[in-house]
């Protein structure tokens, strides 16, 4: 039989053991709490550092974008100035040329000399007009190449897109003048990319939802950059920039236009751009095989692309492949 003292001693021992277990459990909980607190602090520090770095990258990208836009605005201003000087000179000389009939009626040598000088000036006007037009085309192509080079694409991309676009336009039934105009304007289709941050533009993988929304703004940005000009070439370029991501089924952007509501220049450039993009290496993908591209085009006839243009593409496939071969990328 257990004595009363022994029973009390055992009870006291059990109480102490129970107290010890509770204290140990409390110490463990406190240790876990401190660990979680430290992890939360570390996570907050890392997130703050990442936020700071991201903000710094965005600031640097914004500065580069502003600098590029300033350079491009300067190029456009130079074209506008040349054009205005040409128009002023032309108006003045036209008034002189209108007097040529009266000049021809007079027989003295000086008046004949004046007439000859006017003819020389007229030839100078023609040469000046051609020089301005050539300069404008060169600047358009250069600006388009600048936009493409920021996304690690070669200048030959805009050359091929320009040639594809002209070929499609001719076979679609546009005039040679319209086809040539589209060829000259199409290099500006992605000019809005100059305003897209490098961290998004050159991401080597799929975009998340936020990045996709940022990238999609380049069509609207390109249009806003070009729409204010009165020059037909820049107006054409603004249309191409604005509508080359619209889809024939109305599921494109930025306006969601459908079918022939999309300008023919936009529909043509969409097909030319996609054909060249799929067949070229990009930072986010390898070039597709021709079979894979052709399969997609047949599936997207009447969906992404104008069905008439798809038919033209396949009916003149050899011509498109010849252009691709002529202006193929040269690797270093």
**If you average pLDDT over each of 3-17, 101-115, 125-139, 175-189, which comes out highest?**
175-189
For residue 12, the model assigns a pLDDT of 81
Q: Is the peptide bond before 295 cis (omega within 30 degrees of 0)?
A: no
The arithmetic mean of pLDDT across residues 88-114, rounded, is 66
The arithmetic mean of pLDDT across residues 122-136, rounded, is 57
**Which residue(s) pair with 305 in the sheet?**
301
d(CA 171, CA 315): 10
Using pLDDT thresholds of 50, 70 and 90, give the confidence band for residue 138.
low
For residue 105, the model assigns a pLDDT of 57
Q: What is the pLDDT of residues 187-244, one digit of tens each?
A: 888 888 888 888 887 888 788 899 899 889 989 988 998 888 888 888 999 999 999 9
Give the residue numbers annotated as catalytic, written as ranges. Answer: 193
For residue 273, the model assigns a pLDDT of 94
C-alpha distances in Å from residue 225, one per residue of 67, 82, 187, 238:
14, 19, 14, 8
d(CA 231, CA 310): 31
Q: What is the pLDDT of residues 4-57, one digit of tens each?
A: 787 778 778 888 888 888 888 888 888 888 888 788 787 878 888 888 888 887
What is the Rg, in whole angstroms, of the alpha carbon atoms belonging to the chain? 34
d(CA 281, CA 288): 8
Question: Which helix (H) or strand (E) is 236 found in, with range?
Answer: helix 232-243
């Amino acid at each position: 039989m257990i004595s009363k003292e022994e029973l009390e001693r055992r009870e006291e021992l059990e109480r102490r053991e129970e107290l010890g277990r509770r204290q140990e459990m409390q110490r463990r909980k406190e240790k876990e709490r401190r660990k979680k607190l430290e992890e939360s602090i570390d996570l907050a520090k890392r997130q703050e550092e990442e936020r700071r770095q991201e903000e710094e990258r965005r600031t640097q990208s914004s500065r580069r974008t502003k600098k590029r836009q300033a350079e491009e605005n300067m190029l456009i201003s130079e074209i506008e100035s040349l054009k205005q000087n040409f128009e002023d000179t032309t108006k003045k000389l036209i008034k002189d040329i209108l007097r040529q009939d009266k000049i021809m009626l007079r027989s003295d040598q000086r008046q004949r000399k004046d007439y000859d000088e006017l003819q020389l000036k007229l030839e100078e006007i023609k040469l000046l007009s051609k020089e301005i037009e050539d300069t404008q085309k060169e600047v358009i192509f250069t600006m388009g190449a600048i936009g493409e080079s920021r996304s690690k694409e070669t200048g030959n991309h805009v050359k091929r897109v320009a040639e594809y676009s002209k070929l499609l336009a001719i076979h679609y039934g546009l005039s040679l003048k319209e086809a040539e105009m589209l060829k000259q304007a199409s290099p500006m289709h992605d000019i809005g990319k100059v305003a897209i941050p490098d961290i998004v533009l050159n991401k080597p993988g799929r975009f998340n939802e936020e990045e996709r929304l940022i990238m999609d703004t380049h069509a609207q940005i390109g249009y806003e950059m070009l729409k204010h000009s009165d020059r037909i070439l820049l107006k054409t370029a603004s249309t191409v920039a604005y509508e080359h991501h619209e889809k024939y089924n109305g599921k494109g952007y930025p306006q969601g236009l459908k079918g022939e509501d999309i300008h023919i220049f936009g529909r043509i450039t969409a097909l030319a751009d996609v054909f060249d993009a799929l067949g070229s290496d990009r930072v986010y993908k390898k070039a597709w095989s021709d079979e894979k591209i052709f399969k997609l085009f047949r599936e997207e006839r009447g969906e992404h692309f104008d069905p008439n243009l798809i038919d033209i593409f396949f009916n003149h496939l050899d011509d498109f492949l010849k252009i691709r071969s002529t202006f193929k990328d040269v690797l270093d």
